[in-house]
Amino acid sequence: MNLKTQNPTQQEIAENFFKLHPIETIDVITVKAARPIKLEGYTISASRSEKGVSATIGIALDHSLRYALNRLNSWLATNELELDIDEGPDFPIRGVVEGFYGKPWTHEQRLRGIKNFGDFNMNTYFLAPKDIPWQRFNWRAPFDADFLNSTQELIDAGRKNAIDIAVCVSPGLSVKYCDEADVDAVVRRYKQLFDLGARHFGLLWDDIAWELSHEEDIAAYVSTAAAHADFSNRVWAKLSALDPKTVLTLCPMHYSGRGNEPYVQELGRELHPRVNMMWTGRSIISEYLDIADAVIFERNALRQALYWDNFPVNDGGLQANLYIGPLRGREVGLHKYSSGLVSNPMLQFEMSQLPLFTIGQYLWNGATYDPDQSWENALVHLVENEADRLALRKFLRTTMGTPVGGDPAPDLRQVFRRGVTQWRQGNLEEAGDIFVAAGNEIIENHRTLTQPEFSKPLIIAEIEKWLEKYLIGGETLIGLGQTLAGCSFDSVKKCISGTPADILALEQLHERLEAHRKNLFGDQIAGPINELKAELQS
């Protein structure tokens, strides 16, 4: 391949891309200066010939080359002879905030994540794991050499993949707001990161006591909002003195609601206008994010919201769930009223990549975003082996529900519609056969997923406990079908009758299914079992 770039940064990005995505059909790529219609956008003019593919890419920002190469690569998978486009992203800040409680992602996972985020057309990765000492507890101490070395690797990987690494500091558990030494402690950490190449920084006031605790602060400030604004402004003044182009993002103490709360109004009024404010929307885990609420927030905070979107996070009391469905409930056009959106993912790194792929597609172009098609595209992107992908898909579609909507088990719902239709018509053997067949299919699929040759062992290791529940679900379906087939139907009363042994069998099936602590299937299996049991008891 003849690769013609304008500078070493572009060369590094291109070489990294083709290392991750080897392409043999390209003859020449020329990168030139241009003014695409969107700031982080690109122009591409490409065509196929007997020699291969030749392409000219126009960009205004070096890192936009990563997104252009993503688009060129997707075009190569089609049969189109020419590509002539000028496009760019909707949201300015697009990415991930590793901000959950529980075991943080490993360094190796973060490095792989950065490569994926580049593939997803994202541009930002906030490091803000709650349960790690450097984040919230010993924040006054400078970062040690091991942390700096690993962060340097992340920053270097981010540069190659067009991802800004933003390390956060959360001083709110013990800070004295009026103490300049505490301001300097935060800035000292930022300066260490600045020297590594970081230019985006996070200051988080979330999940702390609402009241001021130090006597000096109580005397100095009229409110907690005033203390947060003053401390943050002093941090910003010292940070921006390092480089006026640096970015500071703040997570407020009150980070969800209508956006017109007194704290939000006071903080927004006093906070420097260049500082971003995060917001989770109407709720901590918001079913929807819409323009109307975004406008209210902007009017009161005097800046557009940078959404900290708590999807697909599953920490705390949500750890029994896998939220692997596509992003839903985010309004088209929200980008016009927002400075960006970053997703708080699950503790499970591998599983998080599925919804994150769909989030990346929404953030790039909300008008063309199709949640279901995007999810199918994510599977193709992440699991190359077709047989393994189809097997994984069958499992995943038993846990498609999310905190923000969606049917948890859409395929199983169709099974029960067919089975219950036969059941209500008195065709008990036919209904039983439907459930038994569905159960056997799950058992066979479980066998495929757990075979040593499965191409994605890291995924299987991560979902091992849910696969246990999956197998139990298959066996439960078989038991339900066999019990149902053994019952009798009263054609006059139009109801089913059975024996005490049938009722006991259903109770045992339900108890075994519910005893496993991981969640799958929604109510698709438990609901019909209880319905049949109630009918037999009537």
- pLDDT tens digits, 128-152: 998 888 888 889 999 999 999 999 9
Phi, psi of 372 (to 5 degrees): -70, -40
The pLDDT of residue 523 is 86
**For residue 403, what pLDDT band results from cuts at 50, 70 and 90?**
low
At how many degrees (to 10) do helices 464-485 and 386-396 cross? 70
CA distance 333 to 311: 19
Token pair 């496993």 is found at 516
pLDDT tens per residue across span 284-314: 999 999 999 999 999 999 999 999 999 999 9
**For residue 407, what pLDDT band results from cuts at 50, 70 and 90?**
confident
Distances in Å between the Cα of 200 and the Cα atoms of 6, 196, 396 are 25, 12, 35
The pLDDT of 346-356, averaged and rounded, is 97
Question: Which of these ranges, 281-290, 317-326, 404-413, 450-459, has the smallest mean pLDDT?
Answer: 404-413
What are 57's two structure tokens?
Answer: 């890419």
Helices within 365-409 (DSSP H only): 371-382, 386-396
The pLDDT of residue 30 is 96
CB 443 within 8 A of CB 491: no
At how many degrees (to 10) do helices 145-160 and 180-196 cross? 50
pLDDT tens per residue across span 236-261: 999 999 999 999 999 999 999 999 99
pTM of the model: 0.95
pLDDT tens per residue across span 178-224: 999 999 999 999 999 999 999 999 999 998 888 999 999 999 999 99
CA distance 268 to 206: 16
CA distance 321 to 187: 38
Residue 324 confidence (pLDDT) above 80: yes
Please name which of 330, 356, 360, 361 lies closest in space to residue 345, comparing C-alpha atoms. Answer: 356
The pLDDT of residue 438 is 97
Residue 405 confidence (pLDDT) above 70: no
Residue 354 confidence (pLDDT) above 70: yes
Cross-strand partners of 95: 124, 342
pLDDT tens per residue across span 29-73: 999 999 999 999 999 999 998 888 999 999 999 999 999 999 999
The pLDDT of 477-483, averaged and rounded, is 96
Please name which of 108, 235, 110, 218 lies closest in space to residue 165, comparing C-alpha atoms. Answer: 110
CB 469 within 8 A of CB 516: yes
The pLDDT of residue 23 is 86
**For residue 529, what pLDDT band results from cuts at 50, 70 and 90?**
very high
Sheet holding 2-4, edge to edge: 2-4, 26-33, 52-59, 42-49, 82-87
**For residue 404, what pLDDT band results from cuts at 50, 70 and 90?**
low
**For residue 95, what pLDDT band results from cuts at 50, 70 and 90?**
very high
Residue 76 confidence (pLDDT) above 70: yes
The pLDDT of residue 27 is 87
Distances in Å between the Cα of 285 and the Cα atoms of 91, 298, 371, 402, 496 are 20, 20, 19, 10, 42
The pLDDT of residue 188 is 97
The pLDDT of residue 46 is 96
Phi, psi of 81 (to 5 degrees): -85, -25
Residue 173's CB: how many other CB atoms inside 10 A? 12
Cross-strand partners of 278: 306
**Residue 385: helix, strand or coil by DSSP?**
coil
The pLDDT of residue 84 is 97
The pLDDT of residue 266 is 98
- The mean pLDDT value of the chain amounts to 95
Task: Give the type of residue at 383.
Answer: V
